[in-house]
């Protein structure tokens, strides 16, 4: 690896239906907060990394050109990174590459989405190629339910058991979202509410599914020498891993899911992690669908394959458990897609620097951030710690 | 592009529409794949290096990066790898929900095909779950009028 990279500031907007601001105004809010958090100003930044969903989402092509003023990016190297759901994590990785390469010491990373401005499921339908897959693999809930059903069947998990574990995750996230000032969906729910809510893509119900949000997230990354110069106590990026799969959904195994397994393995190897369950203190697992989160536990080595439900049933992934997951309320309650993976990264950075406020996991030193994207096809993982 | 404006409480909303036409080149391999549909044949291409039969037929192997020019007919029947009942709506949806989607592993192919599962009642989720099961056998049901596209197969019907 090149030079060490740290996160020295984060900024998030309140998420939800943000008709009070235009798209660049929303980004200006997040970027301003990242500068406030880091004590830096736009002239300190050497390069800017930005990204969002396919531009059909907001109806403006190449949106980084539209965002440029809101990011203070005029006159600087500017790049757009976009990998659908995993965009936010790809952004974090792209920012990392910029600094780790030694080319830049201070980089601004920005992800945003305004999902109330277009047709999110219709936009996602344009992600599948038009000849073979588009009529069938459009709309995220359908794809993820195909995957969840196969997962439950592979391991002979009873439908009722999986449904109850998923419902517990939904309640956990909806409860935790109240403690995150930036979270979108804040409603009190019970397990019974979840299992009785409307079916979206059988067996997945409306309370198992994330919303589409308006929101932005910004982050400032710095080299080790810049961290020393500034004299700050940052969150260090200890490992990054990313992996993609074939273009055809039916080609890969989505249960023993290679892209998720490889992304985690690569990040663990760089970070020197051999036992993630013991060595991680907190994980921001990308969970747009409750069912899918349990599949990720298995692929990330939090438990053996087929045992994801047990981590929920035994409280391991709940607050107070061995490995609390998504204390921010997660993607399930807040999902401005282009920003979502970057929010996971920002939240992990807040946790390990003891800055997570009301949703702080006490004593968290090392965390995992994750996002998934493409056509259920890409996974990215980042390991973040308060020491190098 | 059509534009109008309506007032909201917080700030004004500009309403617009983006609608663009496209002409997507299929290439010779996909063209033949769909021509064979007119004769109710489902064809894959085999990779000489890894011996996988790729479906849909394609020009090169996704794993080996080798050209795949050996055409192989695969079965009209196969196993249902997984399925879902779609019960939500979106712009550009191919049919009215609820409907059932599946990934079908046709006999003789090494890649699963996404398509509709049909020939079953779709108004009761529990009834669907009784008729459609993972690992169950399904068979292609063709449209009478075939024009050479993926919807020439109407759906896959459970047969056991």
Quickly list DSSP for A86-133.
GHHHHHHHHHHHHHHTTS-SEEEEEEEEEGGGS-HHHHHHTTS-TTTT
- pLDDT band, very low/low/confident/very high, at B9 (cuts 50, 70, 90): low
- Residue A164, helix vs strand vs coil: helix
The CA distances from residue A302 to A89, A158, A161, A258, in Å, are 20, 21, 19, 15
Contact with chain B for residue A253, Cβ under 8 A: no
Bridge partners (DSSP) of residue B101 are B84, B116
Q: Please name the residue that has the structure tokens 């068979």.
A: B139
Residue ranges of domains in chain A, CATH in brackets: 5-120+211-385 (3.40.47.10)
Does the pLDDT value for residue B3 go beyond 50? no
Residue closest to A140 by CA, chosen among A356, A313, A340: A340
CA distance A35 to A278: 34
Nearest to A136 among B87, B114, B128 (CB): B114
Pairing of strands B137-142, B153-158: antiparallel
Contact with chain A for residue B119, Cβ under 8 A: no
Report the residue of B37, B83, B86, B105 to disrupt the A interface, i.e. the one with the largest count of A CBs within 10 Å: B86
Span A174-220, pLDDT tens digits: 999 999 999 999 999 999 999 999 999 988 899 999 999 999 999 99
List chain B residues with CB under 8 Å of A139.
86, 88, 90, 93
Domain boundaries, chain B: 25-158
Contact with chain A for residue B65, Cβ under 8 A: no
Instruction: Work out the angle at residue A65's Cα, subtended by the Cα atoms of residues A62 and A68, and round it to the nearest 5 degrees.
Output: 140
The CA distances from residue A347 to A9, A71, A294, B113, in Å, are 11, 21, 20, 38
- Least confident span in A89-98, A249-258, B90-99: B90-99
| Min Cα separation B48/chain A (Å) | 18
CA distance A78 to A68: 8
Compute φ and ψ for A380, nearest 5 degrees. -135, 140
List chain B residues with CB under 8 Å of A22.
11
Span B110-157, pLDDT tens digits: 999 999 999 998 878 888 888 899 999 999 999 999 999 999 999 999
Q: Cβ(A384)–Cβ(A345) under 8 Å?
A: yes
- pLDDT band, very low/low/confident/very high, at A309 (cuts 50, 70, 90): very high
Report the residue of A146, A163, A258 to disrupt the B interface, i.e. the one with the largest count of B CBs within 10 Å: A146
Pairing of strands A199-202, A204-205: antiparallel
């Amino acid at each position: 690896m090149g030079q060490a990279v740290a996160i020295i500031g984060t900024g998030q907007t309140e998420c939800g239906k943000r008709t009070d601001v235009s798209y660049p105004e929303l980004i200006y809010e997040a970027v301003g907060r990242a500068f406030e958090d880091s004590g830096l100003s736009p002239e300190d930044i050497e390069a800017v990394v930005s990204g969002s969903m396919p531009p059909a989402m907001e109806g403006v092509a190449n949106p980084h050109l539209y965002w440029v003023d809101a990011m203070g990016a005029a006159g600087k190297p500017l790049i757009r990174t976009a990998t659908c759901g995993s965009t936010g994590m790809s952004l974090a990785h792209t920012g990392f590459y910029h600094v780790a390469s030694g080319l830049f010491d201070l980089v601004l990373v920005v992800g945003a989405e305004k999902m109330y401005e277009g047709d999110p499921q219709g936009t996602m339908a344009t992600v599948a190629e038009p000849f073979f897959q588009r009529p069938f693999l459009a709309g995220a809930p359908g794809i993820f339910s195909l995957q969840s059903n196969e997962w439950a069947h592979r391991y002979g998990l009873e439908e009722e058991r999986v449904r109850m574990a998923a419902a517990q995750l939904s309640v956990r996230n909806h409860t935790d979202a109240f403690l995150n000032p930036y979270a979108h969906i804040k409603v009190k729910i019970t397990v019974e509410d979840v299992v009785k809510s409307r079916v979206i893509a059988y067996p997945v119900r409306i309370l198992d599914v994330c919303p589409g949000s308006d929101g932005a997230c910004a982050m400032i990354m710095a080299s080790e020498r810049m961290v020393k110069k500034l004299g700050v106590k940052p969150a260090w990026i200890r490992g990054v891993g990313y992996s993609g799969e074939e273009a055809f959904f039916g080609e890969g195994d989505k249960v023993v899911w290679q892209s998720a397994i490889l992304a985690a393995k690569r990040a663990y190897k760089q970070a020197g992690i051999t036992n993630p369950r013991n060595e991680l203190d907190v994980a921001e697992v990308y969970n747009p669908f409750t069912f899918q989160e349990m599949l990720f536990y298995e692929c990330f080595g939090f438990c053996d394959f087929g045992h994801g439900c047990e981590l929920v049933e035994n409280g391991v992934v709940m607050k107070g458990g061995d490995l609390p997951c998504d204390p921010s309320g997660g993607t399930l309650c807040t999902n401005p897609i282009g920003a979502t993976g970057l929010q996971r990264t920002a939240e992990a950075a807040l946790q390990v620097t003891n800055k997570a406020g009301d949703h702080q996991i006490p004593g968290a030193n090392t965390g995992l951030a994750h996002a998934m994207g493409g056509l259920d096809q890409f996974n990215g993982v980042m390991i973040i710690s308060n020491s190098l | 592009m059509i534009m109008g404006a309506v007032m909201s409480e917080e700030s004004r909303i500009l309403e617009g529409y983006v609608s663009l036409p496209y002409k997507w080149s299929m290439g010779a391999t996909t063209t033949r794949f769909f021509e064979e549909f007119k004769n109710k044949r489902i064809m894959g291409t085999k990779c000489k290096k890894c011996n996988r039969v790729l479906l849909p037929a394609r020009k090169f192997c996704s794993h080996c990066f080798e050209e795949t020019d050996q055409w192989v007919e695969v079965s009209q029947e196969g196993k249902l790898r997984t399925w879902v009942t779609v019960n939500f709506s979106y712009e550009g949806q191919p049919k009215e929900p609820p409907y059932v989607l599946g990934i079908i592993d046709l006999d003789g192919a090494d890649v699963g095909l996404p398509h509709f599962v049909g020939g079953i009642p779709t108004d009761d989720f529990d009834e669907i779950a009784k008729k459609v099961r993972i690992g169950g056998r399904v068979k292609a049901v063709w449209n009478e009028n075939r024009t050479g596209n993926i919807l020439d197969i109407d759906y896959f019907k459970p047969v056991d």
